[in-house]
């Protein structure tokens, strides 16, 4: 881990310039993702469970005709599974060509930060968390972790 | 540059069409179905390729096409018999030509040695044809005497007299404007493949016309230049159209002829010299569609019929005649056949164009797909909307409900029509097969006849594209493994030539393609030995014939003793099977020892929609593809037998079949569902094995739009795809084969293969 985070998917981001992040809550903790990877934010709808899926995959929902897999971010980070309520939120993100939804408890803020604010993930974090957390930052006394969206979906070997 | 690239691309697209026509024509000749039209079509195809290639300076291609064309010309003029040997050489030349086109398009190198060999063979054929033909070249070239039987067209002594024709009975209504048109074509006009006949025909279309032809300039036959132009037409036209319209007719030829058009104000009268039946006939012929004028017949008629008729019908010594005269110095003189060809092609296409202008358009596939996606959304939303309306208490008999019904019908129709845009005949795949069969037959030293049926069967374009590979593989296998060597066939009392039959047909909403050979059939003993040797089945396995046959679909199975260049590289039928399964299809074998094998592929007509039965499994809604379902039943307690562990069997009439608890297989529930509380759906897996799927209930049956799970997620075992139901929720489409296979008892050797295929 270097002190400066690698550039995000958004190639336009100049390391010196401000970067916008969407912050959200899972339980008591706050996380954020780069706003450029977020396609939309929508309310919770009942997902259709997928057989043989990892426990952190809630299932799939219909996003205007597309089949959108939903990842329970809490479970993915090793926390207890989220029990979705009507107030839960799905953040639809795009990684390369794949679209998927992150199930979180609530969206809390939109942040504008520069890269100096981003600190490397502390060593005591679990391996699981380190895989998905690109760095942490302190904002107004809160700790917010930046999520690396690339690895959130389970990896599949490309179908032969 | 861009424009050039575009033209180039068009050229190659046309080349592909011409090559297909060439091959089809040659095959027709081989089967003895050839008439002069076929031979002409074949000749035209090669000629067009040559012409286009010349424009792009593709010298290799031009050279080969030229030699090929020369040989075809000998056939066309009847000097070369279309014997089997000749056609074989020509078919191989067609393959070589196709290769050259590919090389010209994609780069790379052609097999120069083979091409040189073929050129020699083609030249040999020409020499052969010439050898049988009394060499009359000097006579023709010298233009001395009209003694050669071919050259003497009987026109030497004809006195040409100008004829005027009254067309009032035959042609359209006259009008107020009268014109006198003097039209004298120059040789250039004919060289550009324009024809006086066509121009005159267009003039007739404008109104009432009288045409007289001044033939005073026509020289004696011995002095005639076959490509010259000697006639002057004087047309008295009475039409409702203005002068511009009349000029428009001559638009394409006005720089290649002497033309004067003057308006006249007195009614022309008394100019009619002849009103005889011959002329009526000629006029009829001039007006007739081009297809009604077989070119070769012209010369014959010219010899036998009334001289005037011949003259008027053939106002010019046409390139056709130039060709009829032997000119062995340049048997395929580019210019003469060029004109003839362009003419013929122009006629054909022109005719079609007039019949129904712009019958096809080329559309970017992406646009069509976008439209299909949108229509899919439309269908979903239409269903959603009406469901919501009924939930909100809409009365079934209300006007709005009637409107919904109509809307539904309309959206279905739109969907069907949009799907039909993508449908194409399987011909495009089938027409590649003859070449494949020839090549494989050559390499394997077997004699093979390919029979195709149902090539106009239509199926979605994606299916067609992905059909080519498995089909190729299966045909290779049929020839390489299925058919015996000629001597073995004779010994077995069969014809030396093996038959591979490929047939496509629609069957209950799917396309079925059968590949059958009349070879030895599957050697089950050997298949089993190999499978045991390779550890694919336990040595003590007790297999039915059918199970044995299906062993060849297992990964890593290959019966070939030696690795040939055709097949036997270990990527065998399992790859075929997987690619077919990926298309939502299945493949099965029927084999009779000594009689041959039949592989049957069954594929969905489209990859976009599917007819499914909507069932409840636990709290979830699942779609079972209708094609897999045989029947549904409610099992009685007495019919369900426990079969060790959690395995259960259900008795249907007098057979037992495994009862698969779908909720459990999909992980929706961990409890064993009560068999009597649900519905059993009898399904047939692609190996013919039947099972019963236990679900909680049946909701209905409908067509669903297939949505890929792979695009955003990945492959899910037991699930083929997803769809969106009327309530807007995603429902999963069951992969029946995979669910049945994974439910099988551990240790069953099929299990691993199936799992593998499902991954």
What is the tens place of the pLDDT at every residue in B163-217?
554 444 444 444 567 778 888 888 777 777 777 777 788 877 777 777 888 777 7
Chain B nearest CA to A150, separation (Å)? 13
Which residues are CB-contacts of B545 (< 8 A; sequence separation ≥ 6)?
A: B524
Cβ–Cβ under 8 Å, residues B517 and B597: yes
Using a CB–CB cutoff of 8 Å, tell me whether B710 touches chain A: yes
Cβ–Cβ under 8 Å, residues B739 and B751: no
As a whole number of angstroms, the distance between CA B523 and CA B110 comes to: 39
Asked if A65's CB is within 8 angstroms of B732's CB, the reply is no
Q: Which of B578, B667, B731 sits opposite A48 (nearest CB)?
A: B731
As a whole number of angstroms, the distance between CA B513 and CA B463 comes to: 12
pLDDT per residue as tens digits for the range B252-283:
777 777 777 777 765 444 444 444 556 556 55
User: Residue B79 pLDDT > 80, yes or no?
Assistant: no
ipTM tops 0.85 = no
CB < 8 Å to A102, chain B: none
Tell me what the mean pLDDT of segment B68-88 comes to. Answer: 79
Asked if A52's CB is within 8 angstroms of B716's CB, the reply is yes
Nearest CA in chain B to A68: B712
User: Distances from the Cα of B36 to the Cαs of A80, B72, B83, B94, B335, in angstroms?
Assistant: 81, 12, 15, 19, 21
Using a CB–CB cutoff of 8 Å, tell me whether B377 touches chain A: yes
pLDDT per residue as tens digits for the range A53-64:
888 899 999 887
Asked if A53's CB is within 8 angstroms of B716's CB, the reply is yes
Chain B nearest CA to A51, separation (Å)? 5
The CATH fold of domain B609-758: SH3 type barrels. (2.30.30)
As a whole number of angstroms, the distance between CA B396 and CA B753 comes to: 51
- Per-residue pLDDT band at B249 (split at 50, 70, 90): confident
The per-residue pLDDT for B193 is: 73
User: Residue A2 pLDDT > 70, yes or no?
Assistant: no
Overall residue count recorded for chain B in this entry: 759
User: Residue B493 pLDDT > 60, yes or no?
Assistant: yes
Which of the listed CATH numbers 2.60.120.40, 3.30.565.10, 3.50.50.60, 3.40.640.10 matches domain B426-604? 3.30.565.10
pLDDT per residue as tens digits for the range B674-708:
778 889 999 877 666 788 999 999 998 887 878 88
Tell me what the mean pLDDT of segment A15-33 comes to. Answer: 84
Pick from A3, A4, A35, A2: nearest CA to A19: A35
**Mapping DSSP to helix (H, G, I), strand (E, B) and coil, where does residue B719 land?**
strand
Interface test with B, best of A65, A94, A95, A98 (most B CBs within 10 A): A65
The per-residue pLDDT for B348 is: 39
Residue indicated by tokens 């929706």: B668
As a whole number of angstroms, the distance between CA B388 and CA A108 comes to: 34
As a whole number of angstroms, the distance between CA B282 and CA B275 comes to: 12
Nearest CA in chain A to B379: A65
User: Distances from the Cα of B556 to the Cαs of B490, B529, B559, B600, in angstroms?
Assistant: 33, 14, 10, 21
Q: What is the mean pLDDT of chain B?
A: 73
Using a CB–CB cutoff of 8 Å, tell me whether B666 touches chain A: yes
- Per-residue pLDDT band at B308 (split at 50, 70, 90): very low
User: Distances from the Cα of B553 to the Cαs of B321, B531, B570, B572, B588, in angstroms?
Assistant: 61, 11, 11, 8, 10
As a whole number of angstroms, the distance between CA B501 and CA B482 comes to: 12
pLDDT per residue as tens digits for the range B587-634:
888 888 888 889 998 887 777 777 789 999 988 899 998 877 889 988
- Burial per residue of B531-559, b for 16 or more beta-carbon CB atoms within 10 angstroms, e otherwise: beeeebbeeeeebeeebbbbbbbbbebbb
Nearest CA in chain A to B664: A51
As a whole number of angstroms, the distance between CA B538 and CA A49 comes to: 38
Cβ–Cβ under 8 Å, residues B467 and B426: yes
The per-residue pLDDT for B338 is: 39
**Domain ranges across chain B:** 3-130, 169-356, 365-424, 426-604, 609-758
DSSP string, B73-121: HHHHTTSS---HHHHHHHHHHHHHHHHHHHHHHH-----HHHHHHHHHH
Asked if A60's CB is within 8 angstroms of B722's CB, the reply is yes
The per-residue pLDDT for B363 is: 82
User: Distances from the Cα of A143 to the Cαs of A27, A72, A122, in angstroms?
Assistant: 13, 21, 12
Rg of the Cα trace of chain B? 35
Per-residue 3-state assignment (H helix, E strand, C coil) for B176-214: CEEEEEEEEECHHHHHCCCCHHHHHHHHHHHEEEEEEEE
Tell me what the mean pLDDT of segment B284-308 comes to. Answer: 47
User: Residue B453 pLDDT > 80, yes or no?
Assistant: yes
With 0-12 / 13-18 / 19 or more C-beta atoms within 10 angstroms meaning exposed / middle / buried, residue A144 is: buried
The per-residue pLDDT for B502 is: 92
User: Distances from the Cα of B221 to the Cαs of B309, B311, B504, in angstroms?
Assistant: 17, 13, 57
pLDDT per residue as tens digits for the range B564-600:
444 444 456 777 887 787 777 778 888 888 888 899 9
Pick from A40, A36, A39, A41: nearest CA to A7: A36
The structure tokens listed for B561 are: 């003793």
**Mapping DSSP to helix (H, G, I), strand (E, B) and coil, where does residue B33 land?**
coil
Tell me what the mean pLDDT of segment B228-257 comes to. Answer: 78
CATH architecture of B3-130: Up-down Bundle (1.20)
- Per-residue pLDDT band at B159 (split at 50, 70, 90): very low
The structure tokens listed for B144 are: 């001395």
pLDDT per residue as tens digits for the range B723-755:
888 777 899 999 888 888 777 643 333 333 333
Share of chain B above pLDDT 70, in %: 76
For B110-124, B307-321, B404-418, which range has the lowest pLDDT when averaged over its residues? B307-321
The per-residue pLDDT for B282 is: 59
Cβ–Cβ under 8 Å, residues B541 and B749: yes
């Amino acid at each position: 881990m270097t002190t400066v985070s690698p550039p995000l998917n958004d190639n336009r981001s100049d390391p010196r310039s401000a970067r916008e992040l969407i912050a959200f809550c899972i339980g008591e903790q706050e996380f954020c993702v780069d706003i450029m990877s977020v396609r939309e934010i929508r309310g919770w709808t009942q997902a259709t469970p997928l057989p043989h899926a990892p426990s952190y995959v809630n299932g799939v929902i219909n996003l205007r005709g597309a089949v959108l897999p939903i990842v329970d971010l809490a479970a993915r980070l090793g926390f207890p599974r989220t029990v979705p309520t009507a107030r839960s939120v799905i953040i639809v993100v795009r990684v390369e060509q794949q679209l998927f939804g992150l199930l979180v408890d609530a969206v809390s803020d939109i942040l504008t930060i520069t890269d100096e604010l981003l600190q490397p993930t502390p060593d005591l974090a679990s391996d699981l968390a380190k895989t998905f957390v690109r760095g942490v930052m302190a904002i107004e006394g809160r700790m917010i972790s930046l999520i690396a969206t690339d690895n959130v979906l389970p990896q599949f070997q490309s179908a032969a | 540059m861009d424009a050039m690239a575009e033209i180039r691309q068009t050229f190659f697209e046309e080349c592909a069409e011409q090559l297909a026509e060439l091959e089809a024509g040659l095959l027709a000749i081989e089967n003895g179905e050839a008439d002069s039209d076929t031979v002409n079509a074949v000749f035209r195809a090669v000629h067009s390729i040559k012409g286009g290639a010349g424009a792009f300076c593709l010298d290799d291609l031009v050279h080969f096409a030229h030699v090929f064309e020369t040989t075809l010309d000998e056939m066309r003029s009847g000097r070369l018999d279309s014997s089997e040997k000749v056609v074989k050489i020509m078919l191989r030349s067609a393959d070589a030509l196709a290769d050259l086109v590919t090389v010209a398009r994609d780069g790379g190198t052609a097999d120069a040695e083979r091409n040189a060999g073929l050129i020699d063979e083609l030249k040999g054929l020409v020499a052969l044809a010439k050898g049988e033909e009394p060499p009359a070249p000097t006579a023709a070239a010298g233009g001395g005497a009209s003694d050669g039987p071919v050259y003497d067209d009987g026109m030497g002594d004809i006195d040409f007299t100008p004829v005027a024709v009254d067309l009032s009975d035959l042609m359209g209504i006259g009008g107020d404007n009268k014109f006198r048109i003097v039209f004298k074509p120059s040789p250039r006009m004919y060289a550009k493949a324009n024809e006086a006949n066509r121009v005159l025909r267009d003039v007739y279309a404008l109104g009432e016309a009288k045409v007289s032809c001044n033939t005073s300039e026509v020289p004696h036959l011995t002095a005639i230049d076959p490509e010259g132009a000697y006639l002057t037409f004087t047309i008295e036209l009475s039409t409702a159209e203005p002068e511009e319209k009349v000029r428009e007719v001559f638009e394409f030829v006005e720089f290649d002829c002497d033309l004067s058009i003057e308006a006249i104000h007195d009614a022309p009268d008394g100019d009619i010299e002849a009103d005889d039946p011959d002329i009526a006939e000629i006029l009829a012929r001039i007006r007739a569609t081009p297809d009604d004028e077989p070119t070769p017949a012209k010369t014959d008629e010219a010899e036998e019929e009334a001289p005037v008729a011949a003259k008027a019908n053939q106002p010019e010594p046409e390139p056709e005649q130039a060709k009829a005269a032997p000119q062995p110095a340049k048997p395929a003189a580019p210019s003469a056949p060029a004109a003839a060809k362009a003419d013929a092609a122009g006629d054909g296409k022109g005719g079609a164009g007039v019949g129904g202008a712009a019958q096809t358009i080329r559309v970017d596939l992406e646009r069509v797909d976008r439209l299909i996606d949108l229509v899919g959304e439309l269908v979903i939303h239409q269903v959603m909307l009406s469901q919501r309306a009924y939930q909100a208490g809409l009365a079934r008999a209300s006007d709005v409900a009637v409107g919904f019904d109509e809307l539904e019908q309309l959206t279905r129709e739109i969907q069907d029509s949009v799907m039909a845009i993508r449908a194409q005949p399987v011909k495009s795949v089938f027409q590649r097969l003859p070449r494949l069969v020839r090549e494989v037959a050559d390499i394997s030293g077997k004699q093979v006849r390919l029979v195709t049926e149902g090539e106009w069967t239509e199926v979605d374009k994606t299916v067609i594209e992905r059909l080519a590979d498995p089909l190729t593989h299966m045909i290779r296998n049929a020839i390489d493994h299925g058919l015996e060597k000629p001597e073995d066939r004779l010994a077995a009392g069969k014809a030396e030539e093996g038959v591979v039959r490929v047939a496509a047909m629609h069957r209950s909403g799917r396309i079925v393609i059968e590949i059958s050979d009349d070879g030895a059939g599957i050697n089950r003993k050997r298949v089993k030995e190999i499978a045991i040797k390779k550890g694919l089945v336990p040595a003590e396995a007790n297999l039915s014939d059918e199970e044995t046959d299906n062993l060849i679909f297992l990964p890593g199975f290959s019966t070939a003793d030696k690795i040939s260049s055709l097949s036997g590289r270990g990527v065998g039928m399992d790859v075929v099977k997987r690619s077919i399964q990926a298309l939502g299809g299945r493949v099965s074998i029927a084999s009779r020892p000594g009689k041959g094998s039949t592989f049957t592929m069954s594929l969905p007509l489209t990859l976009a929609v599917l007819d499914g039965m909507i069932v409840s499994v636990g709290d979830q809604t699942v779609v079972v593809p209708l094609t897999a379902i045989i029947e549904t039943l409610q099992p009685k307690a007495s019919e369900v037998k426990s079969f060790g562990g959690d395995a259960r069997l259900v008795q249907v009439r007098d057979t037992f079949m495994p009862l698969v608890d779908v909720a459990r297989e999909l992980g929706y529930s961990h409890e064993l569902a009560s068999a009597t509380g649900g519905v059993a759906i009898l399904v047939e897996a692609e190996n013919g094995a039947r099972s019963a799927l236990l679900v909680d209930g049946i909701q209905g049956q409908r067509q669903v739009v297939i949505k890929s799970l792979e695009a955003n997620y990945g492959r899910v075992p037991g699930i083929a795809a997803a769809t969106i139901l009327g309530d807007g929720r995603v429902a999963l489409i069951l992969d029946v084969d995979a669910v049945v296979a994974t439910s099988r008892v551990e240790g069953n050797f099929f299990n691993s293969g199936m799992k593998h295929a499902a991954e």
